[in-house]
């Protein structure tokens, strides 16, 4: 058998082999480069929200600090543009040191490291030059690994993402209407609910970028939140219901005609109606028990029975079943003027009228003033609150 030579450079197989497809080791690597990337990459970030495209979808950045954000966007664009010879099947991104140390790889394996070597990020487009380093093996007869370096320039431009285009254009998909049953929403409730909604929206926006609040409008009876997504409006209504109780309903309003599909375009109103009860309300049930509302939440109400002075929790189902409803009453302060084993005598602090009542199930002190409530001609002593 005669000696073989590299057809490209003429070196003998003894010296430069083993030959691969007729090429010496060096020529094989030269003829089959692994790093096939472009020299320039263009990418963009949203100037309104900092989001950028990752895997084809707009995502929020990890960092909102502008320098870090620009590098985050550029790094991502670089990683997404990595293109290697088709025989490379397994790519690992590593640090420069690990790459330097690596001397052997399986066929089809590659290590890549990259680092910025020069950048101008004071204004847009931001320009970052990266040095990319790759080691790879694509043939089992390779004595030495491919080791290639390349400089790639990434341009980061500003744009407005589709979500922000809609947001800035005043777009909304649904209205979340926060109301209360048979009453107007109180000031404190409004503040609490607005806070809850803002917290919840932050959470929702992590998954649903359209879940923004376009606007909120204070009305006499409640608050309207103009929302970027119906799903988000529903989630908020649910969150409010879990905290305060109430009922949710939806209505659809025809707002126009989609001529292309000759279909009506609808807008959803999601309405959460809070219970009519508020803390401190005096209520009765169908058995005639009188209660003071102590606490309200998503599950039901904590009610203080004004006769036994014991608290009980009734869930919303029970409240409905027992016909719990507000009752006409009069609140007053009265002083204990005398106590007998069965009765207590009080004096109304406004009118100075005195009256007797069955001694309540709590300890009373002569000369002290207590909050009372009069319901249907009967007096009840309420527990003092701070």
Residues near Zn ion (CB under 5 A): 6, 8-9, 24, 27, 46, 48-49, 51, 161, 164
Residue 142 or 177 with smaller CB distance to Zn ion: 142
Q: Do the beta carbons of residue 290 and residue 309 sit within 8 Å?
A: no
CA distances from 364 to 107, 271, 344, 349 (A): 91, 46, 9, 16
CB of 127 to Zn ion, least distance (A): 22
Residue 104 or 158 with smaller CB distance to Zn ion: 158
Residue 8 or 359 with smaller CB distance to Zn ion: 8
C-beta neighbour count of 350 within 10 angstroms: 9
CA–CA dist 229, 236 (Å, integer): 11
Cα-Cα-Cα-Cα torsion 61, 65, 69, 70, nearest 10 degrees, comes to 160
CB of 165 to Zn ion, least distance (A): 8
Residue 27 or 290 with smaller CB distance to Zn ion: 27
CA–CA dist 125, 158 (Å, integer): 7
Residue 9 or 79 with smaller CB distance to Zn ion: 9
CB of 78 to Zn ion, least distance (A): 22
CA distances from 109 to 85, 87, 106, 142 (A): 11, 9, 5, 13
Q: Do the beta carbons of residue 345 and residue 354 sit within 8 Å?
A: yes
228 half-sphere exposure, CB direction, 13 A CA radius: 19
Residue 157 or 331 with smaller CB distance to Zn ion: 157
Q: Do the beta carbons of residue 303 and residue 293 sit within 8 Å?
A: yes
CB of 167 to Zn ion, least distance (A): 7
CB of 11 to Zn ion, least distance (A): 5
Q: Say if residue 332 is exposed, middle or buried (CB neighbours under 10 Å; 0-12, 13-18, 19+).
A: middle
Residue 76 or 113 with smaller CB distance to Zn ion: 76
CB of 102 to Zn ion, least distance (A): 25
Instruction: Report the phi/psi class of residue 236: left, alpha or beta, with left for phi > 0 and alpha for psi in -120 to 50.
Output: alpha
Residue 57 or 255 with smaller CB distance to Zn ion: 57
Residue 15 or 358 with smaller CB distance to Zn ion: 15
CB of 210 to Zn ion, least distance (A): 11
Q: Say if residue 26 is exposed, middle or buried (CB neighbours under 10 Å; 0-12, 13-18, 19+).
A: middle
Nearest CA among 241, 258, 257 for reference residue 197: 241
Q: Crossing angle of helices 187-205/230-244, nearest 10°?
A: 130
Sequence-distant (≥ 6) Cβ neighbours of residue 54 within 8 angstroms: 76, 80
Which DSSP symbol is given to 70? H
CB of 311 to Zn ion, least distance (A): 50
CB of 193 to Zn ion, least distance (A): 27
What residues pair up with 159 in beta bridges, in sequence order?
46
């Amino acid at each position: 058998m005669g000696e073989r030579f590299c057809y490209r450079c003429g070196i003998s197989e003894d010296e430069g082999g083993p030959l691969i497809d007729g090429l010496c080791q060096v020529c094989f690597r030269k003829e089959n480069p692994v790093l096939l990337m472009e020299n320039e990459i263009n990418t963009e970030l949203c100037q309104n929200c900092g989001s950028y495209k990752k895997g084809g979808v707009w995502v929020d950045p990890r960092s909102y600090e502008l320098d870090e954000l620009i590098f985050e966007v550029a790094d991502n664009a670089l990683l997404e543009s990595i293109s290697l010879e088709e025989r490379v099947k397994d790519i690992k991104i590593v640090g420069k040191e690990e790459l330097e140390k690596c001397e052997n790889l399986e066929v089809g394996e590659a290590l890549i490291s990259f680092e910025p070597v020069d950048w101008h990020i004071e204004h847009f487009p931001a320009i970052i030059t990266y040095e990319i380093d790759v080691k790879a093996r694509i043939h089992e007869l390779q004595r030495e690994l491919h080791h290639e370096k390349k400089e790639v320039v990434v341009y980061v431009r500003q744009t407005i993402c589709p979500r922000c285009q809609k947001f800035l254009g005043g777009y909304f998909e649904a209205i979340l209407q926060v109301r209360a049953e048979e009453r107007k929403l109180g000031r404190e409730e409004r503040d609490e609910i607005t806070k809850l909604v803002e917290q919840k929206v932050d959470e929702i926006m992590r998954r649903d970028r359209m879940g923004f609040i376009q606007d909120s409008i204070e009305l006499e009876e409640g608050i309207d939140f103009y929302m970027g997504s119906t799903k988000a409006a529903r989630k908020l209504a649910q969150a409010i219901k879990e905290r305060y109780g109430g009922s949710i309903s939806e209505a659809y309003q025809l707002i126009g005609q989609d001529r292309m599909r000759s279909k009506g375009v609808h807008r959803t109103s999601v309405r959460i109606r809070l219970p009519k009860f508020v803390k401190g309300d005096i209520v009765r049930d169908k058995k005639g028990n009188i209660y003071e509302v102590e606490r309200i939440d998503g599950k039901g109400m904590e009610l203080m029975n004004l006769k036994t002075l014991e608290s009980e929790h009734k869930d919303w189902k029970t409240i409905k079943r027992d016909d719990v409803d507000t009752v006409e009453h009069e609140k007053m302060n009265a002083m204990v003027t005398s106590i007998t084993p069965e009765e207590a005598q009080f004096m109304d602090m406004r009118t100075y009228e005195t009256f007797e009542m069955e001694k309540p199930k709590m300890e009373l002190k002569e000369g002290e003033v207590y909050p009372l409530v009069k319901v249907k001609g009967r007096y009840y002593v309420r527990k003092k609150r701070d």
